[in-house]
Structure 1
Amino acid sequence: MKIFRFLPALLIPLVFLAGCAKPQLQTGIWRGALKTASGNEIPFNFEITDTAGKKQMTIFNGSERFKVTDVNIKGDSVAIKMPLFDSEFKLKIEKDVLIGKWIKHLADSDAVLNFNAFHNEDWRFKTQSKPSADISGRWATTFGAAEDTSFAVGEFKQQGAKITGTFLTTTGDYRFLEGVVSGDSLYLSAFDGGNAYLFMAKVSGDKIIGGKRYAGKSGYKEWTAVKDNNAKLPDAYSLTALKPGFKKLAFTFNDLNGKNVSLSDERFKNKVVIVQIMGSWCPNCMDETVYMVNYYKKYQPKGVEIVGLAYERTTDFARSQKALQHLKERFDIPYPLLITGYTPATGEPAKSLPMLDKVLGFPTTIIIDKKGDVRKIHTGFSGPGTGEHYIEFITEFEKLTNDLLAEK
Structure 2
Amino acid sequence: MGRGHQRSNQVDRRLRATRKPPDGYVSEYRGDLRFYEGVVQADSFALSAFDGSSPQLFKGKVSGNELKGEQVSARSVNPIAGTRNAQAVLPDAYSLTTMKKGVPFAFTFPDAFTGKPVSLNDPKYRDKVVIVTIMGSWCHNCMDEAALLSPWYEANKKRGVEIIGLAFEYKNDPAFAKARLETVKKRYQIGYDILFAGIVDAKHPSEALPALSEVSVYPTTIFVRRNGEVAKVHTGYSGPATGQYYEEFVKEFTTEMDQLINESVSGETKQRLNK
After TM superposition, the score normalised by the length of structure 2 is 0.90
Paired position in structure 2 for 1:196: 55
Paired position in structure 2 for 1:391: 247
Identical columns (%): 41
Q: Retained in 2: the 8 A contact 1:163–1:181?
A: no
Matched, 1:150 2:6: no
Specify the SS of the correspondent of 2:134: strand
2: CA distance, partners of 1:333 / 1:240: 26
Matched, 1:330 2:187: yes
Q: CA deviation at 1:192?
A: 3.0
Greater gyration radius: 1
Written as runs of structure 1 = structure 2, the 5 A alignment for 1:208-247 is 208-209=67-68, 211-215=69-73, 217-246=74-103
Structure 1, unaligned runs of 5 or more? 1-142
The runs of 4+ residues in structure 1 deviating greater than 4 Å are none
Q: CA deviation at 1:186?
A: 0.6
Q: CA deviation at 1:163?
A: 6.9
Q: Indicate the structure whose relative CO is greater, using CA pairs within 8 Å and at least 6 residues apart.
A: 2
In proportion to residue count, which structure has more helix? 2
Of residues 195, 201, 214 in structure 2, which corresponds to 1:345?
201
2: CA distance, partners of 1:370 / 1:313: 33
1: CA distance, partners of 2:90 / 2:194: 30
Paired position in structure 2 for 1:295: 152
Q: CA deviation at 1:368?
A: 0.1
Q: CA deviation at 1:205?
A: 2.2
Paired position in structure 2 for 1:372: 228
Amino acid at match of 1:328: K
Amino acid at match of 1:275: V
Q: Pairwise CA RMSD of aligned residues?
A: 1.7
Specify the SS of the correspondent of 1:371: coil
Paired position in structure 2 for 1:76: none
Written as runs of structure 1 = structure 2, the 5 A alignment for 1:30-109 is none
In proportion to residue count, which structure has more strand? 1
Paired position in structure 2 for 1:307: 164
Matched, 1:406 2:267: no
Q: Retained in 2: the 8 A contact 1:274–1:368?
A: yes
Written as runs of structure 1 = structure 2, the 5 A alignment for 1:261-276 is 261-276=118-133
Q: Which stretch of structure 1 is more off in the superposition, 306-315 or 184-193?
A: 184-193
2: CA distance, partners of 1:369 / 1:163: 37
1: CA distance, partners of 2:19 / 2:64: 15
1: CA distance, partners of 2:27 / 2:130: 27
1: CA distance, partners of 2:64 / 2:156: 47
Paired position in structure 2 for 1:360: 216
Q: Retained in 2: the 8 A contact 1:163–1:180?
A: no
Q: CA deviation at 1:206?
A: 2.2
1: CA distance, partners of 2:217 / 2:148: 18
After TM superposition, the score normalised by the length of structure 1 is 0.61
Paired positions, count:
258
2: CA distance, partners of 1:275 / 1:163: 31
